[in-house]
């Protein structure tokens, strides 16, 4: 598929949404009701955008790109349903979460339903290599949640990147790996695509961490949602690592007492937000470098602007 | 595979258990801890027995039988982890449930992990037809749970069989369908195998319903576990359908007040247990009839005794 074959991203998004609707079809009224609610909730479709942008410059038929994007979005969506139970989240994308609206039991079952339907769709592709990559991503997403449950406090930079590699970056990496497989690229190029995906995921998560403090409208998150759930995000970790013992204890106390505005001030004072932005921009630059080694120069410009637009809140 | 190739069922069971261990391998300590606990818990391995008995008389290589049995057991096990959350069950097979031992969050994630590993194993079989049958079973198991959540009270015989077809029978039916596919049987024979499986499932569930009132040692269930979870099982449904309005109200009141010994007496008085046994035996006889049309007479005897032994508590 080349650029001129796809009229625009909006059209592609609509086709992916339609595919997702088809995949999640059910005869059960209760399931249909929840699916209608969940699938109507817009979200950024960042995974679909990634498939669209990078899939357009590799020679892959559109049908395969739509299937890949739908599967990736559904894997992401499945994990969100159960993550929201685990995080006790009440709001997702400006609307009540499935657990908030339908209760624990239906939220568990609906998550299971989405997982199952996604695997069914992967199986129907009759491409076990693609399915293997994406199922393995699902496994790591779950493992990432497990690790997050284990070490909520006292996290360092290294732990942080270990968790977000599994929780966020791995699916972006898996998507790009699948594009490489579909495009029959050589091993080295697929390996570069995977690393690009990991960097993309890191930048995406760091940006999302920042959004917890700044940007409520765009992200659809409640303000201080991560903090409320006891999630120690990068701005806090980097601040802690630079602060002296007294300051560290003070920040921990403020978090515990849920005095989040004061936490914000502490981070600002210690330059924690700027350092987070620096780390994010480093990851974005890595993405751009990998992109340059992988693709022709006249395609890189578009990708560069996509990376900057989607990864900088 | 013919009978003489398999030394005995115990050996086959061991190989299935080993396969399950391999499939569920993980590098995460928390996951390994729960897996060790869950997989060590014996259970009846009725699905493995079914694969062994019927798979032995159809010409299928042992490797495929082990893969099928392990996948079926794991699908069953995955649903149990989440079912125990939904049913608020504290005991499973004489031991605390995963949610009772590790809490809600880890129980949700562990169930997701098992699902994912099972689908991974199905994908690695590189037989999309087999995978499709079993994934579709998983979907219906989940749908069955949904239906059960919706109509807990005021259930009639028809509703009952609709729910247990999805919740229990479908996986037995799917297992036999897979055996038919592996054995390259003609359509009509596969159709008979599926019906055999549905009857097997009905008999199995009716027998399990009876065990709630009688047999605690063998089933590993707490006494009156179903009743405690608000599950209206067949002995109650059939009793209700025969009782007059006053008796029905009385039984409902007794259930609500958790006076389960009195419920037992009401069922006994109305012949509800015997009628349940009759319904179960009818299903067992259907299994035997299908078996006779499908297999050579000298194999039927063994199957008949398997059916009677495993479906009569």
Q: Whose CA is closest to A141, among A82, A63, A219?
A: A82
Distance from CA of A109 to the nearest CA of B (A): 6
- Per the CB < 8 A criterion, the answer to whether B179 and B72 are in contact is no
**ipTM entry:** 0.91
Cβ-defined contact of A116 to B139 (cutoff 8 Å): yes
- Per the CB < 8 A criterion, the answer to whether A212 and A237 are in contact is no
Q: At which residue do the structure tokens 């006891």 appear?
A: A230
Domain of residue A137, residue span: 3-311
- Per-residue confidence in pLDDT tens, chain A, 313 aa: 444 444 588 899 999 999 999 999 999 999 999 999 999 977 889 999 999 999 988 989 999 999 999 999 999 999 999 999 998 888 888 899 999 999 999 999 999 999 999 999 999 988 999 999 999 999 999 999 998 887 655 578 988 999 999 999 999 999 999 999 999 999 999 999 999 999 999 999 999 999 999 866 666 667 888 888 888 899 999 999 988 888 889 999 999 999 999 999 999 999 999 999 999 999 999 999 999 999 987 888 888 888 988 888 7
Closest Cβ–Cβ partner in B85, B109, B147 for A145: B109
Cβ-defined contact of A109 to B147 (cutoff 8 Å): no
**Contact map slice: A 65-104 vs B, CB within 8 A:** 79, 82, 85-86, 104
pLDDT tens per residue across span B195-241: 999 999 999 999 999 999 986 666 666 788 888 888 889 999 999 99
Asked if the C-beta of B136 comes within 8 angstroms of chain A's C-beta atoms, the answer is: yes
Asked if the C-beta of A136 comes within 8 angstroms of chain B's C-beta atoms, the answer is: yes
CATH of the domain at B88: 1.10.600.10
Our count of domains for chain B comes to 1
Asked if the C-beta of B112 comes within 8 angstroms of chain A's C-beta atoms, the answer is: yes
Closest Cβ–Cβ partner in B115, B149, B150 for A115: B115
B96: part of which helix (H) or strand (E)?
A: strand B95-96
pLDDT of residue A166: 94
Cβ-defined contact of B139 to A113 (cutoff 8 Å): yes
pLDDT tens per residue across span B91-103: 888 899 999 999 9
pLDDT of residue A5: 42
Cβ-defined contact of B123 to A108 (cutoff 8 Å): no
* Confidence bin at B151 (pLDDT 50/70/90): low
């Amino acid at each position: 598929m080349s650029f001129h074959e796809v009229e625009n991203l909006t059209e592609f998004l609509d086709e992916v949404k339609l595919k997702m609707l088809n995949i999640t079809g059910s005869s059960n009224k209760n399931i249909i009701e929840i699916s209608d609610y969940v699938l109507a909730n817009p979200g950024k479709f960042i995974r679909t955008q990634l498939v669209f942008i990078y899939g357009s410059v590799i020679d892959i038929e559109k049908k395969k790109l739509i299937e890949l994007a739908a599967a990736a979005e559904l894997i992401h969506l499945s994990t969100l349903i159960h993550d929201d139970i685990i995080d006790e989240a009440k709001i997702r994308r400006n609307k009540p979460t499935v657990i908030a609206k339908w209760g624990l039991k239906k939220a568990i079952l609906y998550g299971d339903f989405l997982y199952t339907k996604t695997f069914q769709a992967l199986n129907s592709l009759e491409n076990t290599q693609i399915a293997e990559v994406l199922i393995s991503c699902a496994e790591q997403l779950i493992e990432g949640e497990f690790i997050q449950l284990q070490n909520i406090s006292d996290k360092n930079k290294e732990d942080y990147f270990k968790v977000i590699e599994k929780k966020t970056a791995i699916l972006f990496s898996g998507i790009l790996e699948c594009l490489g497989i579909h495009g029959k690229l050589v091993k080295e190029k697929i390996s570069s695509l995977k690393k690009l995906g990991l960097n993309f995921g890191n930048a995406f998560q760091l940006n999302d961490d920042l959004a917890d403090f700044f940007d409520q409208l765009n992200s659809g998150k409640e303000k201080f949602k991560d903090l409320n759930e006891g999630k120690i995000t990068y701005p806090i970790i980097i601040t802690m690592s630079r602060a002296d013992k007294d300051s560290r204890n003070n920040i921990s106390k403020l978090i515990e007492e849920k005095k989040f505005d004061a936490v914000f001030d502490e981070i600002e004072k210690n330059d924690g937000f700027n350092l987070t932005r620096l780390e994010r921009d480093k990851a974005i630059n890595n993405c751009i470098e990998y992109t340059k080694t992988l693709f022709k120069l006249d395609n890189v410009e578009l990708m560069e602007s996509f990376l900057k637009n989607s990864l900088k809140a």
